[in-house]
């Protein structure tokens, strides 16, 4: 049998346990959640009107992807004004109303902070373009002279995560071709220079602005990217642009996971700790596994997303490794583990887990790519979700996964919006397939996304089958499975439990117990053959029907072994 020695792992149960250590947080992608105006784009009033869905689901917190003023070159991850709401989504008053409505329902609310880059429409960048090379205005960004004759070549060979060079040349105010500026993402997202004191002061002030409005914390975008290596040295031209992996000599990419980022998080942590109510910072840190714990040292971020499960194929050994690694990483520094299967940047997990060949999660699925078997996707998606919800620590759900939504894998090119599709000239699908507006009501136009039925991305055929209202009535639906699993997780306090690997099951089974002082739940997820259930205990939940004591292939079950007192 593979390396599956029993291993005891615990989350902190003795010390006072903050809410976020075991919370289930639901990511709202505002433009695709619910539309109140009929323009086909989701908005803040739409979100507020649907908060009860989240209460019924049983989550603890909501993380809102960006709602700030933005030209929407990257769907809001290009911020032009961090202190106001884009008219597409509503007003600052709508944001205040949403925060209040969430709090009234006992839900915490986290904002998305985008500190690595601004929009090219931000007043700072506009004045940098008007300023001279070497000016104070340019010092807030990474402007450099080009290489080669007349500075016509980019200052280094870095590539944008969205394809193409990571540099764009500007036209100087006198009309001549001039300096270049760095953008690790789209040209409309110029990277800030975090060695500039104004940048630090401004972003600290933005953090306080929203904390003062009552938000419970932030998800920090590209948290591993803010600081770049001195001198901006070239990197291997063939290394994937988004990868923080070291090269064969152990050198690490100069644009990711630089030690200087930690000082920033220490500063923010002290700001956040100055507020009441256990506010939280959670980092999007695509760093190497062995460097992740650095971000969650006691005086830095509270959590980072552990992307181990999100990157694992439907393979029991890979899933076990992902779970072990994430727990070990968190425990190195006394942090709670986190879990995530899907978000707005990657192929939705039911589809991903049914496609063995999706090499790059960010590439999406084109109509010309191999297509998933919908039944298999549904089955594996439900099994993976049930397994994740049992794990100790904090879990992050992406809107629509509670409806079992698959990726839209047949979206026509004419409907696509993601800049990565255009920067790669259509060679990859990009992320639109994970961002299709949610189906709320099967019988309404546009599956009830908003009045009139408009949707900013077209849904795939049969989308209404997944509608929340249909699923709420169907005891076998994925929505009902999520509700039941989250309720039991809460009742048994699985988030605060201890995980022990269970012995005696085959290599194709992820088998573990989660124990608390009052109960123990055995979780079995099989990625291969059906599994005979052990004697004892009570089947509390299963992702597919169990018949004759057999857990079918591609399924997960929770067996409560000791009832709660
Ligand atoms: C990560 C966000 O999740 C993604 O959507 C965005 O495109 C990049 N950061 C750039 O902000």
Atom of ligand 1 nearest to the CA of 77: 11
- The C-alpha atoms of residue 440 and residue 474 are separated, in whole angstroms, by 14
Q: Identify the residue whose C-alpha is closest to ligand 1 atom 4.
A: 345
Report d(CA 351, CA 437) in Å as an integer.
Answer: 17
Cα of 221 vs centre of ligand 1, distance in Å, is 6
Q: Regarding beta strands 217-220 and 280-283, do their DSSP bridges make them parallel or antiparallel, or are they unpaired? A: parallel
Nearest-atom number in ligand 1 for the CA of 420 is: 7
Dihedral of the CA atoms 396, 397, 398, 402 (nearest 10)? 180
Pairing of strands 498-501, 8-10: antiparallel
Q: Which strand (E) or helix (H) includes residue 289?
A: helix 289-292
Residue 358 has a pLDDT of 56
Please provide residue 178's backbone torsions phi and psi, each rounded to the nearest 5 degrees: -125, -135
Out of 116, 190, 222, mutate this one to test ligand 1's pocket (max ligand atoms within 8 Å of CB): namely: 222
| DSSP state string for 191-224 | BB-TTSHHHHHHHHHHHHHHHHTT--EEEETTTT
Name the active-site residue from 74, 86, 137, 221. 221
Closest ligand 1 atom, CA of 78?
A: 11
Ligand 1 atom, smallest distance to 419 CA:
7
Question: CA triplet 143, 145, 147: central angle to 5 degrees?
Answer: 135
Q: How far is the CA of 77 from the centre of ligand 1 (A)?
A: 6
In contact, 358 and 365? CB cutoff 8 Å: yes
Paired sense of beta strands 81-85 and 24-28, if any: unpaired
Signed CA dihedral, 362, 364, 369, 370: sign only = positive
Ligand 1 atom nearest the C-alpha of 74 is 7
Q: Distance of CA 217 to CAs 84, 118, 126, 319, 529, Å?
A: 17, 20, 29, 30, 43
Ligand 1 closest atom vs CA 343? 3
Q: What are the beta bridge partners of residue 304? A: 283
Please name which of 503, 533, 560 lies closest in space to residue 7, comparing C-alpha atoms: 503
Token digits of residue 302: 């509270």
In the reported structure, the alpha carbon of residue 491 is separated from the centroid of ligand 1 by a whole-number distance in angstroms of: 35
Q: Which residues of the chain have pLDDT under 50?
A: 1-14, 564-565
Protein residue closest via CA to atom 5 of ligand 1: 345
Question: Strands 509-515 and 520-526: what pairing?
Answer: antiparallel
Q: Which of 30, 36, 140 is nearest to 76 (CA)?
A: 30
Question: Among this protein's residues, is 221 annotated catalytic?
Answer: yes
Any idea what DSSP says for residue 172?
A: P
What is the Cα–Cα distance from 329 to 496, expressed in whole angstroms? 17
- For position 15, what pLDDT does the model report? 53
Cα–ligand 1 centroid distance for 523 (angstroms): 34
β-sheet bridge partners, residue 85: 68
* Three-class SS state of 16: coil
Is residue 284 part of the annotated active site? The answer reads: yes
CA distances from 92 to 29, 75, 209, 212 (A): 18, 18, 12, 13
Determine which one of 43, 60, 112, 284 is catalytic.
Answer: 284
Give the pairing type, strands 303-304 and 280-283: parallel
Q: Which of 28, 63, 74, 242 gets mutated to test ligand 1 (max ligand atoms within 8 A of its CB)?
A: 74
CA nearest ligand 1 atom 11, residue: 77
- pLDDT score of 562: 72
**Alpha carbon of 420 to ligand 1 centroid (Å):** 11
Best substitution site from 345, 422, 433 to test ligand 1's pocket, by max atoms within 8 Å of Cβ? 345
* Ligand 1 atom with minimal separation from the 162 CA: 7
- Return the beta strands (E) in 81-211 as ranges: 81-85, 108-113, 143-144, 167-171, 177-182
By the 10 Å C-beta count (0-12 exposed, 13-18 middle, 19+ buried), 231 is classed as exposed
160 vs 343: CA distance, rounded Å: 21
> For position 356, what pLDDT does the model report?
74
65: three-class secondary structure by DSSP: coil
Element (H, E) at 421: helix 419-423
Cβ-contact 434, 27 below 8 angstroms: no
Phi first, then psi: give them for residue 345, nearest 5 degrees: -105, -10
Strand partners, 165: 159
Pocket of ligand 1 (CB under 6 A): 74, 77, 114, 185, 221-222, 284, 344-345
Q: What distance in Å separates the CA atoms of residue 225 and residue 252, rounded to the nearest whole number?
A: 13
Nearest CA to ligand 1 atom 2: 221
Contact present, 474 and 482 (Cβ < 8 Å):
no
As a whole number of angstroms, the distance between CA 24 and CA 396 comes to 6
Question: 276 forms bridges with which residues in the sheet?
Answer: none
Task: Give 532 Cα–ligand 1 centroid separation in angstroms.
Answer: 43
Q: What is the pLDDT of residue 359?
A: 53
Q: What 3-state DSSP class applies to 423?
A: helix
Q: Distance from the CA of 222 to the center of ligand 1, in angstroms?
A: 7
3 state DSSP class of 481: helix
Quote the pTM value.
0.96
Distance 8 CA to ligand 1 centre (A): 35
CB 77 within 8 A of CB 66: yes
Separation of alpha carbons 91 and 82, rounded Å: 13
Indicate the top mutation candidate among 76, 221, 310, 398 to test ligand 1's pocket, ranked by most ligand atoms within 8 A of CB: 221
């Amino acid at each position: 049998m593979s390396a599956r020695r029993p291993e005891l792992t615990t989350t902190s149960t003795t010390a006072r346990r903050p809410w976020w250590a075991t919370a289930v947080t639901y990511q709202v992608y505002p433009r695709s959640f619910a539309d109140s105006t009929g323009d086909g784009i989701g908005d803040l009033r739409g979100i507020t009107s649907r908060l009860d869905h989240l209460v019924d689901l049983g989550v603890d917190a909501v993380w809102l992807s960006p709602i700030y003023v933005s030209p929407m070159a990257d769907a809001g991850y290009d911020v032009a004004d961090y202190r106001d709401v884009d008219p597409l989504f509503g007003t600052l008053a709508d944001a205040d109303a949403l925060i209040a409505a969430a709090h009234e329902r006992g839900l915490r609310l986290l904002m998305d902070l985008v500190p690595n880059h601004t929009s090219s429409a931000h007043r700072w960048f506009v004045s940098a373009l008007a300023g001279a090379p070497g000016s104070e205005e340019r010092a807030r960004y990474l402007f450099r002279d080009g290489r080669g004759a007349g500075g016509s070549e980019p200052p280094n060979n870095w590539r944008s995560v969205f394809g193409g060079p990571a540099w764009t040349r500007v036209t100087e105010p006198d009309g001549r071709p001039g300096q270049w500026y760095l953008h690790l993402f789209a040209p409309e997202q110029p990277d800030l220079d975090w060695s500039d004191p104004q940048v630090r002061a401004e972003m600290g002030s933005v953090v306080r602005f929203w904390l003062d409005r009552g938000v419970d914390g932030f998800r920090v975008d590209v948290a591993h990217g803010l600081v770049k290596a001195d001198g901006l040295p070239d990197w291997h031209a063939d290394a994937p642009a988004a990868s923080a992996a070291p090269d064969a000599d152990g050198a690490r990419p100069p644009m990711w996971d630089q030690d200087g980022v930690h000082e920033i998080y220490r500063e923010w942590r002290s700001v956040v700790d100055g507020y009441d109510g256990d506010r939280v910072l959670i980092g999007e840190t695509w760093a190497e596994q062995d460097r992740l714990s650095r971000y969650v040292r006691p005086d830095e971020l509270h959590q980072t997303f552990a992307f181990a499960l999100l990157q694992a194929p439907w393979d029991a050994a890979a899933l076990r490794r992902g779970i072990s690694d994430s727990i070990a990483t968190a425990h190195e520094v006394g942090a709670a583990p986190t879990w995530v299967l899907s978000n707005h940047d990657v192929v939705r997990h039911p589809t991903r887990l049914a496609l063995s060949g999706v090499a790059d999660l960010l590439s999406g699925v084109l109509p010309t790519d191999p297509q998933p078997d919908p039944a298999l996707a549904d089955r594996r998606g439900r099994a993976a979700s049930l397994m994740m919800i049992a794990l100790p620590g904090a879990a992050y759900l992406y809107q629509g996964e509670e409806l079992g939504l698959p990726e839209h894998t047949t979206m026509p090119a004419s409907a696509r919006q993601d800049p990565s599709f255009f920067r790669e000239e259509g060679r990859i699908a990009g992320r639109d397939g994970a961002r299709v507006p949610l189906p709320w009501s099967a019988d309404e136009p546009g599956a009830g996304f908003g009045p009139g039925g408009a949707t900013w991305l077209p849904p795939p055929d049969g989308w209404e089958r997944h509608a929340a209202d249909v699923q709420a009535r169907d005891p076998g639906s994925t929505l009902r499975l999520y509700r039941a699993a989250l309720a039991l997780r809460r009742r048994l306090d699985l988030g605060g439990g201890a995980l022990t690997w269970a012995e005696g099951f085959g290599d194709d089974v992820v088998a573990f117990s989660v124990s608390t002082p009052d109960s123990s739940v055995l979780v079995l997820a099989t990625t291969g053959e059906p599994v005979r259930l052990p004697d004892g205990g009570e089947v509390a939940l299963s992702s597919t029907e169990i018949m004759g004591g057999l857990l079918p292939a591609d399924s997960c079950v929770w067996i409560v072994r000791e009832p709660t007192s």
